Amino acid sequence: MKFKKLFAYAAALLVIGSTNAYAENGVNPQINVSGAYAEPWGFAEVKIDIKNNPGISAFSINLSYDEEILEFADARCGNGLTNGTFFCNGSRSGKSIKAVWSNASDMYLNDDIAVIRFKVKNAEAETSSALKIEDSEFGNSHLEPVEIETHDGEIKIAREILPGDADENGIIDINDIVTINLYLLDNHIYPLSSYTAEANCDMDGNGIVEITDSAIMINKLCGID
Amino acid sequence: MKLRFKKILCILVSAAFCVHFYPVYAAEDMRVSQECIELIKAAEGFSRYKYWDYSQWTIGYGTGVSEDEYPDGITEAEAEQLLYNAVVRYEGYVNNFADRYDVSLKQNQFDALVSLTYNMGNIWSAYDTFDLKTYVINGSENYSFLDIAKGFGEWRVAGGSVIQGLVTRRQEETKLFLSDREDYSGEVWRVNSEDGTNLRREPDVNSERIGFMKMNTIFYVTEKKTTGDGYLWGKVSYEGEECWCVLDFSKYIVGGPIECFENGDEVSGEKWIITSEDGVRLRSGPGLNYENLAIIPKDKEIIVTSTAEADGYLWGKTKFAGSEGWCALDFAERKDNQDTELPGRTLESIYISSMPNKLTYTEGEMFDPEGICVKAVYSDGSEEVIPDFTLDGFESAPGTHTINVTYMNKTASFEVEVIQKQLTGIEIAKLPDKTVYSQGEQLDISGIKVNALFNNGTTEEIQDFSVSGYNHFIGEKKIVIEYQGFTADFNVEVIEKKLTAFEITKLPDKLEYYKGEQFSTKGMIVYAYYDNHSKNVITDYTVSGFDSQIIGDQIIRISYNGFIQTFIVSVKEHKERPLTGDIDGDGKRTIFDLILLNQYAENGHNDLEYDKFCAADINGDKIINDLDVEILTYMISQE
């Protein structure tokens, strides 16, 4: 057991010391659509967040998705919107939704502005649906347009998700730790084998396989919660 | 040494080489003081460049140098140092003389003899025929001032004639030599007139002439007298007989003091000495326009019996050359310590023989010396009332103050007490500029002058008083001024102000209306003008003349207290109802319409234009609120 822990820590440190995949965000305002993993017939929750918020009083975001794979379930405003009126219509065309929010004064929080839930249809596993911001508009209380960069997201469909089973052998052991850390070390040389493997590695469910997932996985394997 | 001494030096120095010179050593005994150096410097004068003086090259303060020295001249500091070096030799002469004859010299005597030696050589000490040598060996204190003056005076003659430069220098050396003596019994004078001076039996130019003294004769004066002809006469002894000579033609050397009488009486006026180089005119009266009687020469002592101010000068009444007149004392100097010092007595002390009537004062009062009497006590026991003492030390601040009485460097003192002044009341010395007010005006006390009254009879203007009693109601008001518990008052009147006109200085922001809109006065400014020349903004006017259902121009009437002003607005039809939710009128519904709608719903929309109101009232309930926002949000999300 001691050996396992040491190995796990060494592997984690190796990843921490070598990765530069997470560059610091710039100062430009950004809207990001998060990724998500889901099983067929399951639900996928994606978040739209704002960074470097210059102050906005209203927005409208038109988000498209693959209607063969996903179906809009519901939406709510994110933690970043403490006031104002939010509405999101998912039944307008069947392949895109439009989220609209407005307020009398500017909002400056850098946080989620919308949380959207999709239901996965009886789709074939190992497929994905892009979540593209087709058009968007932002304005402040002075009735001025606000330019904000937008970044799309993706929902990937896994077969059956077993959190921690990075190598998809049905067993969660030290090999899974090695697998995820090799992936984090260089995902081109050591790619994960499938969306299911990625979903198994996305321990925190934020749609991204990252160093925190490795740490969670090590803790779980070591019995540390 | 100056060129004019060439002759005497030629003779004297020649003689000096014939006599025995004492060995000269570095000065181990006495050294000259700075007083001696200054005397030599003044007598020799300064020459920046060397010149040939009888037998040697000379520079600076008469110091001998070689031909090649100081080709570029010499500074005064260098010359003084050169003099210090040179004078050592002459100090040696005098010291050796003193040693040889076992004479103890005082510093002033030593200085005087070194100066003489520096100038004339040490011949004076070589021959017994010279009186000065005898006097010094026997002890100069055993000889009179006149003897000593004559002893030095032997060295004023050169080549059989008197050299004035030497006369002056010997005088200075005589003064220095005798400066420590106080046993004088008269004054030593020297005849200073080329014509000499007559000796007469009485101090009168018409008196018998019994003798004559030629220029530079040194003589003793034992009494002085100013006579009716204005001359100052000196009593002298001539061949065992007392006689008089006019001192105006002689020069004082040393000695004194002696009595001076005027017309046989003690001088009752003040002694002044003419200081102007050109003398001072004696005029028949105190002023520049009076007749010129004579010119009183410089250094002439005059007796001033009274003074007057005229033409910017202080004039003194005096007598000169038989004429009584006035001269400007600005060109004369009053002699010190002469007030009541009579010969034979000195002022011992003064005392206050009678205290002033007033010894207690109130702060701020002036000192009043009335009643004080000060007496002088003299060495002969006599006492005299002093009329012209000085008083100082009074300060008109609370406390006890010592008043010093001073007269001729003698003082006496007494104490006075100054008690703090007390406020006894206040008075309005001057009313404010404005005492009539129109209704609504603020009280303005500009121009008022309020005085505090004190128990010492003084007043003081005050500023930090309080004012009460004014209000805006019509009628007479008693305005009360209060200061430290004391009050004074005056009345002002408040009269009703009358409207004389009113004016719309700015029309309303909105002058064009759509049918059905309500009239708004927003932005309109109306002033009312009153008969007291004041004005103020009014809002309680009446508006009439607007009908929102009538299309076209309409005259709006603004009425206020019977006065009317008008302006025109227009009412027009609506073109068409705007797109619901298109609040900014750009033809579409966007998030910017949502922002506007949010702001209207939150901040109000009373003055919203009709078109915008229609566009913002999404549900048509004539109210803009959150419900409209929710509906428009939904609408935009559907588009």
- Euclidean distance between CA atoms B295 and B311, whole angstroms: 19
- Same-domain status, B318 and B409: no
Q: Is B269 part of any domain?
A: yes
Tell me the nearest-neighbour CA distance from B600 into chain A, angstroms. Answer: 8
H helical segments located in chain A: 2-18, 174-185, 195-201, 211-221
Q: Which residues of A are less than 8 Å from B595 in CB distance?
A: 57-58, 102-104, 139-141, 143
- Same-domain status, A153 and A166: no
Residue partners of B387: CB distance under 8 A and separation at least 6: none
- Cβ of B591 and A104 within 8 Å? no
Cα A130 to its chain centre, rounded Å, is: 12
Single out the residue of A105, A113, A107 nearest to residue A143, CA to CA: A105
Tell me the nearest-neighbour CA distance from A84 into chain B, angstroms. Answer: 8
Q: Which two tokens stand for residue B80?
A: 């003084």
- Same-domain status, B23 and B45: yes
**pLDDT of the residue at B379:** 78
Contact B494, B474 (CB under 8 A): yes
**pLDDT of the residue at B603:** 82
Tell me the nearest-neighbour CA distance from A206 into chain B, angstroms. Answer: 27
Q: Is B359 part of any domain?
A: yes
Task: For residue A12, name the pLDDT band (cuts at 50, 70, 90).
Answer: very low
Single out the residue of A181, A164, A63 nearest to residue A116, CA to CA: A63
Q: Which two tokens stand for residue B596?
A: 């506007």
Q: Which residues of A are less than 8 Å from B592 in CB distance?
A: 58, 139, 143
Cβ-nearest to B629 among A60, A89, A102: A102
Q: Which two tokens stand for residue B310?
A: 């005229």
Q: Which two tokens stand for residue B131?
A: 């009186």
CATH code for the domain in which residue A13 is found: 1.10.1330
- Same-domain status, A123 and A88: yes
Q: Which residues of B are less than 8 Å from A58 in CB distance?
A: 591-592, 594-595, 598
**Average of per-residue pLDDT across A182-193:** 91
Last residue of a domain, one of A102, A131, A157: A157
Tell me if chain B has a CB within 8 Å of the CB of A138.
Answer: yes
Cβ-nearest to B637 among A89, A104, A137: A89
A140: closest chain B residue by CA: B595
Contact B370, B356 (CB under 8 A): yes
Q: At what angle do helices B626-638 and B591-603 cross, to 10 degrees?
A: 170
Cβ-nearest to B595 among A58, A88, A92: A58
Q: Which long-range contacts (CB under 8 A, 24 or more apart) does B16-19 make?
A: B16/B121, B16/B122, B16/B123, B16/B126, B19/B123, B19/B126, B19/B127
- Same-domain status, B50 and B176: yes
Tell me the nearest-neighbour CA distance from A132 into chain B, angstroms. Answer: 17
- Cβ of B584 and A137 within 8 Å? no
- Same-domain status, A35 and A146: yes
Q: Which one of A77, A86, A88, A102 would you mutate to disrupt binding with B, by most B Cβ within 10 Å of its Cβ?
A: A102
- Same-domain status, B393 and B457: no
Tell me if chain B has a CB within 8 Å of the CB of A103.
Answer: yes
Last residue of a domain, one of A157, A185, A201: A157
Tell me the nearest-neighbour CA distance from A56 into chain B, angstroms. Answer: 10
**Around Cβ B313, how many Cβ atoms within 10 Å?**
17
**pLDDT of the residue at B160:** 63
Task: For residue A225, name the pLDDT band (cuts at 50, 70, 90).
Answer: low
Q: Which residues of B are less than 8 Å from A139 in CB distance?
A: 590-592, 595
B593: closest chain A residue by CA: A143
- Same-domain status, A103 and A174: no
- Euclidean distance between CA atoms B403 and B84, whole angstroms: 52
- For β-strands B223-226 and B260-262, DSSP reports them as parallel
- Same-domain status, B11 and B159: yes
- Same-domain status, A118 and A193: no
Please count the structural domains in chain B: 6
CATH code for the domain in which residue B66 is found: 1.10.530.40
**H or E element at residue B81:** helix B76-101
- Same-domain status, A138 and A71: yes
- For β-strands B512-514 and B563-572, DSSP reports them as parallel
- Same-domain status, A45 and A148: yes
Q: For B143, left (φ over 0), alpha (ψ -120 to 50), or beta? A: beta
- Same-domain status, B39 and B171: yes
Tell me if chain A has a CB within 8 Å of the CB of B417.
Answer: no
B626: closest chain A residue by CA: A85
Please count the structural domains in chain A: 2
Last residue of a domain, one of B367, B389, B419: B419
Q: Is B342 part of any domain?
A: no
Active site residues of B: 44
- Same-domain status, A6 and A75: no
Single out the residue of A83, A72, A149 nearest to residue A116, CA to CA: A72
- Same-domain status, A60 and A98: yes
- Same-domain status, A72 and A122: yes
Q: At CA B488, angle to CA B485 and CA B490, rounded to 5?
A: 150
* Domain, as residue range, for A206: 2-22+160-221
Tell me if chain B has a CB within 8 Å of the CB of A1.
Answer: no
- Same-domain status, B296 and B319: yes
**pLDDT of the residue at B614:** 84
- Cβ of B636 and A60 within 8 Å? yes
- Same-domain status, B369 and B406: yes
- Euclidean distance between CA atoms B639 and B637, whole angstroms: 6
Tell me the nearest-neighbour CA distance from B523 into chain A, angstroms. Answer: 23
Residue partners of B155: CB distance under 8 A and separation at least 6: B116, B119, B120, B124, B132, B166, B170
Last residue of a domain, one of B183, B217, B236: B183
Q: What's the 3-state SS for B325-371?
A: EEEEHHHEEECCCCCCCCCCCCEEEEEEEECCCCCEEECCCCCCCCC
**pLDDT of the residue at A123:** 67
- Same-domain status, A6 and A92: no
- Same-domain status, B75 and B60: yes
Cβ-nearest to A104 among B591, B602, B639: B602
- Same-domain status, A43 and A130: yes
Tell me the nearest-neighbour CA distance from B575 into chain A, angstroms. Answer: 26
Contact A48, A33 (CB under 8 A): yes
Chain B residues 57-86 with a CB less than 8 Å from chain A? none
**pLDDT of the residue at B258:** 63
- Same-domain status, B43 and B132: yes
Last residue of a domain, one of A101, A127, A157: A157
- Cβ of B598 and A101 within 8 Å? no
The ipTM value here is 0.78
Tell me if chain B has a CB within 8 Å of the CB of A102.
Answer: yes
- Euclidean distance between CA atoms B152 and B135, whole angstroms: 10
CATH code for the domain in which residue B490 is found: 2.60.40.3630
DSSP codes of every residue in B584-604: T-SSS--HHHHHHHHHHHHH-
Tell me if chain A has a CB within 8 Å of the CB of B584.
Answer: yes
Q: Is B577 part of any domain?
A: no
Reported as a single tens digit per residue, the pLDDT across B126-156 is 777 778 888 999 898 888 888 898 888 888 7
Cβ-nearest to B594 among A89, A98, A102: A102
Q: Which residues of B are less than 8 Å from A100 in CB distance?
A: 591, 594, 633, 636-637
Q: What's the 3-state SS for A174-224?
A: HHHHHHHHHHHHCCCCCCCCCHHHHHHHCCCCCCCCCHHHHHHHHHHHCCC
Question: Number of residue pairs across A and B with CB atoms under 8 Å?
Answer: 70
Q: Is B157 part of any domain?
A: yes
pLDDT greater than 90 at residue A22: no
Tell me the nearest-neighbour CA distance from B589 into chain A, angstroms. Answer: 12
Q: Which residues of B are less than 8 Å from A102 in CB distance?
A: 591, 594-595, 597-598, 629, 633
Contact A113, A58 (CB under 8 A): no
Q: Is B585 part of any domain?
A: no
Task: For residue A181, name the pLDDT band (cuts at 50, 70, 90).
Answer: very high
* Domain, as residue range, for B84: 3-183
pLDDT greater than 50 at residue A171: yes
- Same-domain status, B431 and B486: yes
B594: closest chain A residue by CA: A102
CATH code for the domain in which residue A61 is found: 2.60.40.680
- Same-domain status, B528 and B393: no
Q: Output A18 or A143, whichever has higher pLDDT.
A: A143
Cβ-nearest to B634 among A87, A104, A141: A87
Tell me if chain A has a CB within 8 Å of the CB of B596.
Answer: yes
Q: Is B340 part of any domain?
A: no
Last residue of a domain, one of B128, B148, B183: B183
Q: Which residue has the tokens 């004062």?
A: B361
Q: Which one of B588, B592, B626, B628 would you mutate to disrupt binding with A, by most A Cβ within 10 Å of its Cβ?
A: B592
Q: Is B580 part of any domain?
A: no
Tell me if chain B has a CB within 8 Å of the CB of A59.
Answer: yes
Q: Which residues of B are less than 8 Å from A101 in CB distance?
A: 633
Tell me the nearest-neighbour CA distance from A141 into chain B, angstroms. Answer: 6
Q: What residues are paired with B218 via a beta bridge?
A: B190
Q: Which two tokens stand for residue B540?
A: 């309680």
Low-confidence ranges of chain B (pLDDT < 50): 1-27, 264, 266, 339-340, 342-343
CATH code for the domain in which residue B309 is found: 2.30.30.40
Q: At CA B606, angle to CA B600 and CA B609, rounded to 5?
A: 85
A141: closest chain B residue by CA: B595
Q: Which residues of B are less than 8 Å from A104 in CB distance?
A: 595, 598-599, 601-603
**pLDDT of the residue at B231:** 78
Which of helix, strand or coil describes residue B258?
coil
Cβ-nearest to A100 among B597, B626, B633: B633
- Cβ of B595 and A86 within 8 Å? no
- Euclidean distance between CA atoms B504 and B537, whole angstroms: 10
